[in-house]
Amino acid sequence: MYKDHYRLSREPFSASPDPDFLWLNEKHAAAFESLKKGILEREGCVLLVGDIGTGKTTLIQRLARLGGVAAALVAIHETGMTRLDFCNTLAVEFGLKRRFERREDFYTEFKNVLLGKFSAYKKVLVVIDEAQRLNAQILEEAVELSNLEVAGCKLLKVIFVGQLDFDQVLKREENHGVLQNIKTHYCLEPLTEEETRLYVAHRLQVAGRQTKLFTDDALQAVHALSRGYPRLINILCDHALLYGYSANLKEIDGQVVRECSQDLEMALGLVPELDTDRSVPSVEEAIESPHQPLAAAAGRSWRPFIYLAAAVAVVGLAFFVMTH
């Protein structure tokens, strides 16, 4: 809607994770390199934790694009999943055209699939999202999966992706063996104010903007309201641009950000995790493409009327975010 108005080639602040926009600041670059090394070089499982909206999914998406890697996402929705349920979930993700009644039968066929379709890959990644929901049995099953050897080699790498409380789950006595098997661990933290400024500038540049769009006051307000969480930064900046477009503004200042944030109060206060969406390439997609597995006005009194249409869009997005 507003791309031409701001001279943008694409939307810079989409709510959906997009690895093209991954900004590797010092923290994210360290996370990327640590996880990459854990995937390609180290033994054991890999763990990535972070609060809701810190950018876990985007980072995993970029890792799934590593050359010689195929990735499958397993999203956990039920805490009472059994070992056999887990195996059948994997069967669906890897394109096995049947439901298994025994774990042994699943592993026999699964090995054949790895030896056939995936023999050319350095690693096959199984990304387990919402890992804090896993019970002790499924955690043990995931570790067994990571130890699976095919032709004498471990081609499979399990990546746990979870919220901060997953660390506490792993410290339980029944999960001691699982914790010992995790050899690479990284925790993503929110951005500082300076990192928020650089993050916004990076996304605008990727979207084709060559000149500054948000004033310093606006960026300060964005950080204060978002608390440095990339997902909230995206939501807030996107709607600030929508408001600015409605008012025919060429620059976004702090007042615009603060005014539109009032309509975003619900979204900024409670943004459900969206990482459960399929956001990394499917295994079948990886097979097909092995290297490619979010005029200034004089007065302000008229703004509430001009912003009415934008406010309707805000309510629509808040509903979308809370229901996905």
Encode pLDDT of 229-253 as tens digits: 999 999 999 999 999 999 999 999 9
Domain(s) labelled CATH 1.10.8.60 in the chain stretch across 191-322
User: How much is the pLDDT for 152?
Assistant: 77
CA distance 13 to 53: 13
Which contiguous run of DSSP H or E holds residue 161?
strand 156-162
User: How much is the pLDDT for 266?
Assistant: 55
| Cβ atoms within 10 Å of 173's Cβ, excluding its own | 6
Cβ neighbours for 283, distance < 8 A, ≥ 6 positions apart: 70, 71, 72, 93, 94, 95, 124
pLDDT in tens, the chain (324 residues): 789 999 999 999 987 888 889 888 888 888 889 999 998 888 899 999 999 889 898 888 888 888 889 999 888 777 888 999 999 999 999 999 899 999 999 999 999 998 888 888 888 999 999 999 999 999 999 999 998 887 778 878 999 999 999 999 999 999 999 999 999 999 999 999 999 999 999 999 999 998 999 999 999 999 999 999 999 999 999 999 999 999 999 999 999 999 888 777 655 553 333 333 434 444 444 434 433 332 233 233 334 433 444 444 444 444 444 444
User: How much is the pLDDT for 237?
Assistant: 95
Query: What is the domain class of 191-322 according to CATH?
Result: mainly alpha
Domain(s) labelled CATH 3.40.50.300 in the chain stretch across 26-188
Relative orientation angle of helices 216-226 and 193-206, to the nearest 10 degrees? 110
Q: What is the DSSP string of 7-61?
A: T-SS-SS-SS--GGG----HHHHHHHHHHHHHHHT--SEEEEEE-TTSSHHHHHH
* Amino acid (one-letter) located at 46: V
Residue 281's φ and ψ, nearest 5 degrees, are -60, 140
User: How much is the pLDDT for 290?
Assistant: 38
User: How much is the pLDDT for 226?
Assistant: 92
CA distance 53 to 14: 13
- In order of 106, 145, 228, the CA distances from 103 in angstroms are 5, 11, 44
Count Cβ neighbours within 10 Å for each residue of 87-101 and write b for 16 or more, e otherwise: bbbbbebbebeeebe
| Cβ atoms within 10 Å of 66's Cβ, excluding its own | 18
User: How much is the pLDDT for 295?
Assistant: 28
Fold category of 26-188 in CATH: Rossmann fold (3.40.50)
CA distance 282 to 293: 7
User: How much is the pLDDT for 19?
Assistant: 84
